[in-house]
Chain A
């Protein structure tokens, strides 16, 4: 059995808005293993993003335990949590999370600069070739198409070699062909590299690439019968 990369145990998230308590996430038990590509679907405001930010160690749950790659994230300080995100978690966001003033290649090298290691030029080259963006290595994000940008975002995440990849509506700004393209790529890399990937989306057509599909409704997460 593949290693569990993310585990949420009896996790809840509530916050107070005015004099009303909003239960963004009701008691949730959820886990993802290495090599698993999981989709979370649901209408906007259902708590998908809350789930994602808790899973990624961006915010702590009101109660319950979050274990990222064997580390209990709920017991960590802000600084330690930031370090877990840096080393263990990769984010792929809606509008790509690229730094506007860095070239494609430097988006990857930034990670080396932050942790103080030497850039692995060979690994960067291999990754860019694999994702079909080698020709773009000296281009800036503003010179790329939406699909190319998401490929770069994927390359950036894979270069960091995280255990867990969190994708928040990664295809929101893409047309159908490009969206399928990107998700297919994400699914392939997840399996080949043994990552645990959670993709939040509201696009039902994309779930055919996923191993499991969860549905989020009013803060409740339910596994949906799904056949690939």
Chain B
């Protein structure tokens, strides 16, 4: 401790640079992780908030909810207290900018109804609850909106937060209204009948009895990974981040090792004087911990500051668990450098320092 701290104080300039490098590398890693997680979240948070166990789609839809259509005759046997009917389609809203949205047709009494953060639930057919992400294009409570390609006007009676699906903000409406809207909008297949929905969401059940020839049940997680682009994106980002962490910890380890090697003559003399390996090694370890913790702390502060500054423009989201994993991996990398350094200290021949 004594050696470590005194050296840090004396060689401030050098150590500040090292801390800076560690800070920048961890900043990059933390920030990229927050972006990747934010993006991944904006794909699925609209369905994650259901806290449902699974979803039933039409088998021929090949896991694509936009093409899935189920009728009462299909889902009659599986609907019950812990299931809910869902209609999903897409539309475009135009205000200050154009914005693609996801239309969710739900039974407002079911568990698919999102928690309202502003305003109230939709009660009338032409009333909708919108994701608060739509405020960015200028929508307010009690505004009327129209979807491109349709004539019908809707009134926004409520907002809900964290409501996006495949990065598009969600507009919630009554299931009957959804059938009407989806049929009206250009490009939408006409509804087969007045019982048509896109999917049945199950809250708890995992074992359902249904016609496996026409329908297919899967967990929400499996369903998420089959969303177009989601899997590829998660895979790309996680690979990138893993490599980044790997390389950064390796750089950190090399830094520490070089730092120790530079002091080889000093350590040699100390060992000749009878100062035990353990004391010298401990000093190396203390330095590694101080440098990496300081660097990562600065990196984290920079990340949070940037996140706060860019919150409206990028899908930035901090996941403490990921950060914990990154910090652990970084410390592991530093520890490897530390072990190599300690090994180098042990190998120093004190006779050389004298001779």
Contact = CB atoms under 8 A, between A and B. Distances in A.
A49 B355 contact: yes
A101 B354 contact: no
A168 interface: yes
A110 interface: yes
Q: Chain A, interface size: which category? A: 20 to 34
A168 B354 contact: yes
B276 A114 contact: yes
Contacts of B6: 101-102, 106
Contacts of A53: 351, 354-355
Contacts of B269: 91, 93, 97, 99
A56 B353 CA distance: 13
Interface string A157-174: 000000000001000000
A140 interface: yes
A79 B10 contact: no
Contacts of A52: 354
Contacts of B273: 85-86, 90-91, 97
Interface of B is mostly: helix
A21 to B, nearest CB: 19
A82 B276 contact: yes
A59 B270 contact: no
A114 B275 contact: yes
A99 B3 contact: yes
A35 to B, nearest CB: 23
A195 to B, nearest CB: 16
B348 to A, nearest CB: 12
Interface string B268-283: 0111111111010000
Interface string B203-232: 000000000000000000000000000000
Contacts, number: 71
B350 A58 contact: yes
B354 A114 contact: no
A58 B266 contact: no
A150 to B, nearest CB: 14
Interface in B190-209: none
B342 to A, nearest CB: 16
Interface in B309-355: 350-351, 353-355
B274 A83 contact: yes
Given A49-B354, A53-B354, A91-B354, A110 B3 contact: yes
Contacts of A100: 10, 266
B274 A85 contact: yes
Nearest to B10: A101
Given A87-B274, A101-B7, A113-B1, 19 more contacts: A52-B354, A53-B351, A59-B351, A79-B276, A82-B271, A83-B274, A84-B274, A85-B272, A89-B274, A91-B272, A97-B273, A100-B10, A101-B6, A106-B6, A110-B275, A113-B2, A114-B276, A114-B279, A140-B10
User: Lowest 10 A-B CB distances belong to which pairs?
Assistant: A86-B274, A85-B274, A101-B10, A113-B2, A101-B7, A97-B269, A82-B274, A49-B355, A58-B351, A53-B351
